[in-house]
Amino acid sequence: MAIPRPLRALAIVTAFLFLYLVFQIFRRAPSIPGPGDLEQELPNEPTLEDTGEPPEPLHRADEGYAADNPNSPRINATLLALVRNEELGDMISSMRDLERTWNSKFNYPWTFFNDVPFSDDFIRLTRAATNATCNYEVIPEEHWAVPNWINSDLFDESAKMLEEQEIQYGPLVSYHQMCRWNSGMFYKHPALKDIRYYWRVEPKVHFFCEIDYDVFRWMQDHNKTYGFTINLYDAPQSIPTLWPETKKFIAAHPEYKHENNAEEWVVDSKRRPEHNMKANGYSTCHFWSNFEIADMEFWRSKAYEDYFEHLDRAGGFFYERWGDAPVHSIALGLFEDKNKIHWFRDIGYQHIPYFNCPKSPKCKGCVTGRFTDGERFLFKEDCRPNWFKYVGMD
């Protein structure tokens, strides 16, 4: 018996859809060999667990933290932002989030940096966004300028190569200047000479959770050097000689390595083997430094100052695209006690396209456990599993 024409058409369409679905499932081969290719959430995602505050002692907000109290329990710390006048709207957005969730209770000062003077509008509107003191600082020319040992022709050629490799911001001189300043210059500014702790805040970031304790006092009381929220892999094409230069430095100064360091995290080759290969021995794991809460005494130490000087003279801030995040992270991973580095799991944070969103009644506006709202391949950029493996979740 002949099959009716409508049924034949339905069978053909069904077969086509089935073959299309099979093709979609199997068509995409991993771009990077190795276990790091898994484009999926972290198994047993820790931010899906109930998240409370870090261990006591915790200093709570009270009337003593009023902005106009000269005898406040605030310690020697500031909120720090490198920002341009044209980023005013995005900076105000970040300020409102952090003021709402934390700083309106503690009133730590804001210190804004720019390589040109701030506009009247920038000053007026940022002051209106907080009750705390605001300081506006211009970066000294000698801290921002391209060093005289950098060859401009070589930089131009290197910038073309970075652009061909699709390295973001590679051709922009100002981006290289910013990375160098954030790596080894910011803490030398005269406005910070008497400041010890800072919380770095960038334009267009978001904070989601109420924080009811003095974060700076917690860092001091618990002898912590550095706090982070997000831990990522870097683009190895942007830093091919950073680790070889680091090895040269360590060979000359083995005394700077801390006996309880996180070198295994720095050099891991198992999860993203091609990253390690392209970066010549560096895993490319780093703390995403658009959020960092840190003790500047570490950057002012002889170990770090000598390390930065070595890197600066090597030229990689301009001939490659060495960012402050991998430079800070390698230094912390080698020269500091790994137990003095803290994951602030309780601070809800986003810098597009990544999140730190804990499970807590204090949080709203983000999806618990979400690492990214971007493409699936972005999940493999998560280096937290390595940090948890080699160091832990403190």
Please check the confidence at residue 22 and state whether its pLDDT lies above 50: no
Residue 383 lies in a domain: yes
Average pLDDT over residues 332-336: 98
Residue 110 lies in a domain: yes
Q: Tens of pLDDT along 179-222? A: 999 999 999 999 999 999 999 999 999 999 999 999 999 999 99
Nearest-CA neighbor of 229 among 351, 57, 100, 59? 351
Average pLDDT over residues 67-87: 97
Structural domain containing residue 79: 35-390
Residue 301 lies in a domain: yes
What stretches of 139-264 adopt beta strand conformation (E)?
197-200, 206-207, 226-228, 231-233
Residues sharing a CB contact under 8 Å with residue 42, sequence separation 6 or more, in sequence order: 371, 379, 382, 384, 385
Domain total in the chain: 1
pLDDT of residue 95: 98
- Whose tokens are 């933290």? That residue is 65
Residue 20 lies in a domain: no
Residue 19 lies in a domain: no
Residue 169 lies in a domain: yes
% of the chain exceeding 90 in pLDDT: 88
Whole-angstrom distance, CA of residue 152 vs CA of residue 356: 40
Q: Residue 199's domain is classified under what CATH number?
A: 3.90.550.10
pTM: 0.90
Give the residue numbers annotated as catalytic, written as ranges. Answer: 292
Residue 13 lies in a domain: no
Residue 2 lies in a domain: no
Confidence of residue 19 (pLDDT cuts 50, 70, 90): low
